[in-house]
Amino acid sequence: MLISAVLILAVLSLVFAGIALFTRNEPVDVATDRKKENADDLAALKVVSGLVKTHYHAGELIWLSQQLYNLGDNPLTVWGADKFLFFRVYDEGNLVMTSNIPGPGLVSPVKLNLYPGELDLGGWWTENYTFSLDQPGRYKIVAWAEFSKDVNLAEPLQIYAEPVWIEIVTGREVEFRPVELEKGAAIPEEVRSWVENSMKFDVAYFVNAQEFGGKQYLFVRSGTGGFEPFERLVEIIDVLVMEEEVAVRVSFSKPSPGQQIALEDLYDVVYIEATGLPVRFVPIAHEEIFFRSLAGIHYLPDIVAQSRSIKVFAPAPGEVVGRKFSVSGVDNLKEVHYVLRDADQNVLDSGLGMGARAPGFTRDPVIIEEHLRGSSYWMYFTFDIQVPEHVADGADLILSLFWSSPREGDKPDFVDIPLKFKSD
């Protein structure tokens, strides 16, 4: 019995020794090669996080863009669990405030081909996320890519981007009072006119600010536009005075199904004590909102003629003009074409009006982010028109303003202004 037991132990020892030798030798070599290969691949990849700015207000939507680059010489195929790019946001005490991380459970692997030096915005190479933070302070964003070279997602690999910091800023909250046009309140005529002219910018998310009589008035509207209704219930929820600007936080919410919407639901006007500071409107919403405002002019004159994209300050319809007269207004087209005709439709003058600055211009009344310049601004324009010498006193003229469409002969956004000529 003792001999049999010894023999059994000896055989088992040899078996376990063989297993041990197998697990220590060959798989270690394979694992080493795999680790080296993974290390080489990882060295060729880079994750980059992008933000449009570094300072935000409480509740403001923060857009985080993440890119995964292949900086190597060869294409690389990787597999991910639905997504490839993730992030966490930490406060200064390293507490996680919000995140987008790989979720638990079974997923269908997603294949991604990373080609050297190419950025495929239509694929998984770039991913965008939004979030908001409610408390002032500094926050660190840690982003990374997570994937596997195995279709079964074995041995996931991670590549981290350089952390980026953002700050949620705040200021001194000040009292504001509503301007209620519809309720027949006693409102200075210049303020009423300013609000009515601001309402003529019938595009979504137009904002304006101006000081009258020691008060600073703040205007924001929702409006309609595009291929779907943009109606949003609008409410200014607080006003913060900071060192170099006034921050106005504006809440936008979708109406309830079947809710009856009145005009006053689509805009809000309030005033504070004048600060002499430019105004930044901050959207508080669960969707992308870009504000539009004036540029190159620090006040809003009466709008005497208009189309959707062109607002004219002068001349007014029926106005008597001399041999040389000026045209002014704002547009969001970057350029305005004009044609002056007589009553027989003969062209007397034509040209192109470009952006300019209004006389006495100091600063734009509203701060618009640099990356949103362009169509978000209503640019001031002015130019002079010369009436030819052969035109007689009393002649009827027609001034047309428009912008040229890519389609031949199509001139949308026409503004026709009838005028009467009188020699100087």
The whole-model pTM stands at 0.80
Same-domain check for residues 190 and 135 = no
Measured CA distances, 312 to 81, 89, 200, 224, 358 (Å)? 55, 48, 11, 21, 13
Mean pLDDT of the chain: 83
Question: Which of 269, 291, 313 delimits the end of a domain?
Answer: 291
Position 70 in a domain: yes
In the chain, the number of structural domains is 3
Question: Which of 135, 152, 169 delimits the end of a domain?
Answer: 169
Confidence band for 375, pLDDT divided at 50, 70 and 90: low
Beta bridge partners of 50: 65
For 103-127, what is the mean pLDDT?
Answer: 70
Position 9 in a domain: no
Same-domain check for residues 184 and 84 = no
pLDDT for residue 353? 84
Q: Which domain holds residue 117?
A: 45-169
Same-domain check for residues 280 and 339 = no
pLDDT for residue 204? 78
Q: What is the DSSP letter of 391?
A: P
Same-domain check for residues 188 and 165 = no
Same-domain check for residues 257 and 206 = yes
Position 14 in a domain: no
Ramachandran angles phi, psi of 102, nearest 5°: -60, 130
pLDDT for residue 38? 61
Position 54 in a domain: yes
